Amino acid sequence: MKLNITLLFLLLGAAFVSGQSDKERAEIIKSNNQVHLQQMVVDLQNKAIKDQERALEFSKANDIPMFKENQDGTFDQLMRVTNDGIPVYYSIDNADAANSTRANRLHSGNSLGLNIEGQGMTAYVWDGGPTRITHREFGATSGQRATRGDAPFVLNSNSFHATHVSGTIVGAGVNASAKGMAPQANVITSDWNSDEAEMAAAAANGALISNHSYGVPTSSLGSAPELIGKYLESAQIIDQITYDAPYYQPVFSAGNSGSDNSSNSQPLDNNNAYDKLTFSSLSKNAMLVANAQDASINADGSLSSVSINSGSSQGPTDDFRIKPDITGNGTGVTSSFDSSDNAYGTISGTSMSSPNVAGSMLLLQQYYNETNGIFMKAATVKGLTMHTADDAGINGPDAIWGWGLMNTMKAANVITDDLVGSRIEELVLQNGQTYSITVEADPNEDLLASISWTDPAGQINQGGANDAAPALVNDLDIRITQNGTVFEPWKLTGVARNTTGDNTVDNFERVDVSSPSGTYTITVTHKGTLVNGSQPFSLIVSGEQNDFAIRSSLSVIESCNDQSVSFPLQFLSSSNFNDTVNLTVSNVPSGVNTSLSSTTFTSSGNATLDITGLSNAADGTYPITVTANSPSDQRTFVVTLRILSDSFTNVNTRFPLDNATQISTSPVLEWDDELNAQRYQIQIGRTASFGRLFVDEVVTASTYRISSTTLFPSTVYYWRVRPINDCGQGAYTTQSFTTFQCDEIDAAVSSPIPIPDNNATGITSSISVNQANNIAIGKVNVEVQSTHEYSGDLLITLTSPAGTTIALTSPNGCATPNLGVTFDDDAGAFSCNTAPGQPGYVDSVAPVQPLSAFNGETVNGTWTLGVQDRGPADLGTLNNWKITFCEVPAVLSNEEVIANEFSVYPNPSNGLFTIAGTNTDSANGAVIHILDLNGRVVFTKEVENTSRLNESIDVQNLSNGLYLLQVQQGASRTVEKIIIDK
């Protein structure tokens, strides 16, 4: 298990350099909810720790293995235990891919005339073990293209699978049969431990596509049919990550339970050939992939025939969403193996079809970026993939194939034909809004219109087996109409039935019009009230007919005002259009000059829009319109010019304010965006001269989260931030803050206890704490003294009264005897001391898992130290141990009345309370935040402009403990301590 959050960010951040360009990555990150994503990384890592500790305890108590070896040599791993006591094992999903999905048609020398092979792109892979990154398929064309995103580095019995999956995506084709979908792309591979936390970290760093060829087979859940097909926490977490990172698209394998018609004792519609999807597979926003046999493809790239692999797991979900989403080729796939750098293997399963689809989607992202200068949002690339799939099985989508076999060639053609024969638009539907357009249909092909959106995380389904409560949060609807005739989207009406009608469960809807003629209206609406007030969505239309259009492969350019810029323009026209089209430019800032290299077109061609005199305009962002006029029609295209200079205003800091006190040791620093900034340099030091820096980073967002191991309690820190762009840098804004006071409370035990040799049960020693005020924890240190012949044999854990368990040490081969050590999150990395005459662990070291996991809990109760000797032939004794707590004092008094005539009641509460009082900034409303003691925002509510506040707050989902309530009114911020005690 990976435990070091700082290392996690370093590995993922460093590995990203070889992916998209820094500017492209920065644009993606700007769309993220970075604060929430970074918070999720920590929360999910702590969740993984607790899940594994509980799994280990459950394994011992019930005499079941943590690792189950399968007959084929692979292993399944116990990852967690449900609240009902059901063990959840991860299992790899094993049972001429590029040809089947037509990904090879985008490669150099193929029918589309493109050269899209993943150049400069990065795929992410999580799997059951480490990948053999030195395999020749990962380094044959442009240096080493595979890197590991985490430990371990030692191959295991699942490594063949990870290596095969990675090769299916990025194999160079040294062996032609093993050429991947994106043979020049990079891949970052990790094992499945802590996968959710690492996915959030990758998404926060701008990841686009990841692959996950593993899951929970139905055979492991035979005693719990209510867990099959249900929207549970694992799916909810994936949906939250993707909602916070709108460009990130994870791809999951559907599983290989297709032939298992007995494990689910309560299948949907009482049909045991369906209803076999579990856990993360039920995410709304992830792409779920079924497995087909090799497809027969005609010379023109169209599908001749294809059959499903009988082992591919069937849907749908309990709320009858269309799952799987799509089908790839995962049967008889040849790819790299792990036994040597030139080993290969041929295997089958949705494990192989999933990377087939993931790699193909990576190509679509690359092609769209090369065509339009930006990447698609995840909802767009997912929607495009399903929109253009080849129908298979019954007519329309179903619970076996999803929307059909992926057709990368058709999807690429929609990108090529955008604005003439198709359209790809990324839009936002506001609450109560109706979006409507008219299109002229191409009579030679079907008219298809679809909408796709990244839906907010839904509520966990608490019902029994087959409870149909929808997981959908924001229900958008699309219709096509013509002369009173309404065409509706597809939906499922049973496990093996579909129809068209009002779809109330899927976050992808497609309307098909066969043999169209004339003009149609496409309308997008929504039901109810949109959560968060609006919903971004992607609209894709194919089969429309426009005479001409104008577009650019650089839709946005940022330039210093002492330079000139050029936008490449492409004029597109249909084959039967022969009028003259004239180009003009408008909405140009005053004093700026423009010129077009070509202003008249009669057929498709290229032009350049040159812009000079930028210094005559103020810094800022300017949309400039290029208009194409024919005698009968007009089309416009907007390019965006951002003019920069080396003149900056000082950054306005928001939190913490200058000279603020009682600040967390891991706060989120906030400041307002500076108009002229592309990025910011943030520094933190102990003195106003900033001679020794604790933090020195350049970031693109106007927030920065400080690691929990960087700052100390009771300490004054100076922080400063300055704006930077390509033209220069501004002056620093410098402020200071003081972290919370640490009032130490010590408790110790000193009765020696022998440690049994080579015994996984080990010993425990307890300390009872009974403080009159039962303080909330802000920091914990643990001192351990032990004589032991081989200190590296010891696994030492600490468990709080609340049940949180962390590992202080782990067996690591340290041969130096004895321990005399203080575990402190703020100390150096955990390592073996080899100095003569000193213990193996000495002075202060950081524990294997962070002690900050206890922050916010209260101290009273029994604290238990566990010591296990995991190696043979060495003896020892636990001599004594001590635990030191630092209290987080009240930020204000624990009174109902706080500043600005607010009251909070009741306080303490069970998580339901009311904030009432006068709003001093009624014109702009207020923002309510609740933070835990690590500074993580765990709740946010915006209050619209009103002179009085009377807000009911429901945070019953939060754990018992101390929290900070912040009420922000314009420039004024009030903070109060609240206690949740359920």
What's the pLDDT at 888? 59
User: Are 148 and 191 contacting, i.e. CB atoms less than 8 angstroms apart?
Assistant: no
Report CA dihedral (913, 918, 921, 925) to the nearest 10 degrees: 40
User: Are 563 and 614 contacting, i.e. CB atoms less than 8 angstroms apart?
Assistant: yes
Give the type of residue at 109.
G
- Distance between CA 323 and CA 401 in Å, rounded? 8
User: Are 209 and 362 contacting, i.e. CB atoms less than 8 angstroms apart?
Assistant: yes
- Distance between CA 187 and CA 192 in Å, rounded? 15
What's the pLDDT at 15? 32
What's the pLDDT at 382? 99
User: Are 626 and 583 contacting, i.e. CB atoms less than 8 angstroms apart?
Assistant: yes
**CA–CA distance from 522 to each of 450, 462, 477, 530, 718 (Å)?**
10, 37, 11, 20, 56
CATH topology assigned to domain 897-980: Immunoglobulin-like (2.60.40)
Distance, C-alpha 173 to centroid of its chain: 30
Half-sphere exposure (Cβ direction) of 454: Cα atoms closer than 13 Å: 26
- Distance between CA 665 and CA 717 in Å, rounded? 10
DSSP state of 378: H
Which tens digit of pLDDT belongs to each residue from 701-745?
Answer: 888 888 755 777 778 999 999 999 999 999 999 999 998 766 566
Question: Which residue has tokens 């009345």?
Answer: 897
* Residues of the chain falling short of pLDDT 70: 1-19, 94-98, 140-143, 151-152, 708-709, 741-745, 747, 813, 826, 828-830, 887-902, 918-924, 932-937, 945-947, 961-962, 970-973, 975, 982
pTM of the model: 0.78
Q: What is 5-56+94-425's CATH superfamily?
A: Peptidase S8/S53 domain (3.40.50.200)
What's the pLDDT at 2? 28
The residues, ordered by sequence, that sit 6+ positions from 168 with a Cβ below 8 Å of its Cβ are 97, 180, 181, 333, 335, 352, 355, 356, 359
Give the type of residue at 370.
E
What's the pLDDT at 10? 24
The residues, ordered by sequence, that sit 6+ positions from 772 with a Cβ below 8 Å of its Cβ are none
Angle, alpha carbons 505-509-511 (nearest 5°): 135
Domain 548-644 has what CATH class? mainly beta
The residues, ordered by sequence, that sit 6+ positions from 963 with a Cβ below 8 Å of its Cβ are 856, 930, 931, 932, 933, 938, 977, 978, 979, 980
Give the type of residue at 16.
F
Question: Which residue has tokens 């765990």?
Answer: 938
Q: Report the interhelical angle of 34-62 vs 233-244 (nearest 10°).
A: 160
Q: Report the interhelical angle of 34-62 vs 5-15 (nearest 10°).
A: 120
Contacts 24+ apart (CB under 8 A), 489-493: 490/322, 490/396, 490/397, 491/320, 491/322, 492/316, 492/320, 492/321, 492/322, 492/397, 492/398, 492/399, 493/320
- Note the CATH architecture for domain 744-887: Sandwich (2.60)
Question: Hey, which residues are catalytic here?
Answer: 127, 161, 351
| Nearest to 775, CA basis, from 882, 891, 857 | 857
- Distance between CA 649 and CA 810 in Å, rounded? 51
Percent of the chain exceeding pLDDT 90 equals 59
Q: What does the block give as tokens for 332?
A: 């008889």
- Distance between CA 86 and CA 66 in Å, rounded? 13
Q: What does the block give as tokens for 534?
A: 């609006």
Half-sphere exposure (Cβ direction) of 429: Cα atoms closer than 13 Å: 28
Task: Give me the sheet containing 519-526, strands edge to edge.
Answer: 435-440, 519-526, 476-482, 485-487
What's the pLDDT at 496? 97
Q: What does the block give as tokens for 686?
A: 């102990």
For 464, other C-beta atoms within 10 Å of its C-beta total 11
DSSP state of 226: G
What's the pLDDT at 319? 98
